[in-house]
Amino acid sequence: MIKVLVVDDSFFMRSLISDTLNSEPEIEVIDTAKNGSEAIKKIPKIKPNCITLDLAMPGWDGLTTLKQIMSQHPTPVVILSAHSKEAANITIECLNAGAVSFVLKPSGELSLDIEKIKEELIKEVKTAAKVKVGKIKSLIAKPLKPPRRKLIGINKIVVIGASTGGPQTLEAILSSIPPGFPAPILIAQHMPTISFTQSLAAHLNDSCQLIVKVAENNEIIQASRVYLAPGGFHVTIEPSYVTCDQYTSQELGVTSQRIICLNEDETDSLTPSIDITMKSVAKVYNENAIGIILSGMGDDGVEGMRAIKEAGGKTIVQDESSLIFGMPKAVIEAGYADKVLPIAEMVSAMVECVTA
């Protein structure tokens, strides 16, 4: 039985969230709290397996409460966030402060239609409850030690797939990559809306020596830049041929690559799809593609890594240090992982693959 503490300043939201979670036989809401200070007092007494935490509360807001939880009584936390830009920014801060994941309220702070996210909320609570506290604390410690290898590049690309636990891991990795990285980095991180991807990109850009941005449709990609697939969209890479005097670059054998954003299915929770992005990268870059799978639940990325491996590219997955060892494990079991590495060795492996 998964024991849950629900923290929300609204009596109605506490009741609705509790009823929603209690409808799942494997979950029991053992208590609620109307603010952060009350939650901190209850945690050591009731010892919940997971906490759902509202962002907008009087007194301690969600971020302040989360930091107190992580410092005093580390426990897996699922954030309940609104759809606003401000909420997206704070949610990204929460993920980097130790929250496992987040779920969007369907209709703002007072969402009486919480039933709409019932399945997602139950899934995230179940996933979070399985996370060991030690893994959460290890993600908060940053950055990694950067590699010393001289960066001399050729036409290669790194494509990264991530889900739950991904934003925290991405910051640890990207903040340790030295400037002048001789390849573009394309990231498919499961995110519900573009506003959250924009907040994540801004946060990563502030902490990295590379330029980090949300990918734009028809954008020509460049080395030393990191492109995040926009939340809610699938992203592919396609060759772009440009006229050069009397000849086209295709005739000259010279190509650049451009990003294509496809809004194929707004109801698909696996957006952007890691498989779709990786398959397109494998088709364009062949043996020059480096695929990486980080923390996440499920098996999105297995087919993409297969495509990269079969095209002659390199494949790397995060080891059991992953917050959620679902996606990496699926790639390993399918036989498509060339290397299985902890976060601390990921950057050196990326540099080695790109400069080889």
List of residues 6+ apart from 334 with CB closer than 8 A: 302, 305, 306
Ranges of H-type helices in 73-193:
85-96, 118-129, 133-140, 166-174
C-alpha distance across the termini of the chain, in Å:
50
Helix crossing, 343-355 with 166-174: angle to 10°? 60
Residue 143 belongs to a domain: no
Q: What Rg, from alpha-carbon coordinates, does the chain have? A: 21
Residue 138 belongs to a domain: no
Which position among 81, 163, 195, 273 bears the catalytic label? 163
User: Do 108 and 72 reside in the same domain of the chain?
Assistant: yes
Instruction: Tell me the CATH number at 80.
Output: 3.40.50.2300
Q: Please say whether the beta carbons of 83 and 111 come within 8 A.
A: no
User: Do 170 and 100 reside in the same domain of the chain?
Assistant: no
| CA 213/CA 197 separation, integer angstroms | 9
Range of the domain at 203: 157-355
User: Do 164 and 99 reside in the same domain of the chain?
Assistant: no
SS3 274: helix
Residue 150 belongs to a domain: no
Q: pLDDT-based confidence at 193, cuts 50/70/90? A: confident
pLDDT digits (tens, 9 = 90+) for 100-120: 999 988 876 666 788 899 999
User: Do 25 and 169 reside in the same domain of the chain?
Assistant: no
User: Do 178 and 297 reside in the same domain of the chain?
Assistant: yes
Active site annotation includes 54: no
| CA 180/CA 351 separation, integer angstroms | 11
Active site annotation includes 300: yes
User: Do 89 and 161 reside in the same domain of the chain?
Assistant: no
User: Do 36 and 103 reside in the same domain of the chain?
Assistant: yes
Q: pLDDT-based confidence at 315, cuts 50/70/90? A: very high
Which position among 190, 280, 299, 322 bears the catalytic label? 190
pLDDT digits (tens, 9 = 90+) for 278-303: 999 999 999 999 999 999 999 999 99
Q: pLDDT-based confidence at 247, cuts 50/70/90? A: very low
pLDDT digits (tens, 9 = 90+) for 201-242: 999 999 999 999 999 988 889 999 999 999 989 999 988 654
pLDDT digits (tens, 9 = 90+) for 347-356: 999 999 998 8
User: Do 96 and 184 reside in the same domain of the chain?
Assistant: no
pLDDT at 273 over 90: yes
Residue 351 belongs to a domain: yes
User: Do 108 and 165 reside in the same domain of the chain?
Assistant: no
Instruction: Tell me the CATH number at 290.
Output: 3.40.50.180
User: Do 122 and 219 reside in the same domain of the chain?
Assistant: no
User: Do 172 and 112 reside in the same domain of the chain?
Assistant: no
Per the structure, how many domains does the chain have?
A: 2
Percentage of the chain lying above the pLDDT 90 cut: 71
Name beta bridge partners: 4: 29, 50
Which position among 199, 300, 321, 322 bears the catalytic label? 300
List of residues 6+ apart from 347 with CB closer than 8 A: 144, 146, 147, 173, 176, 177
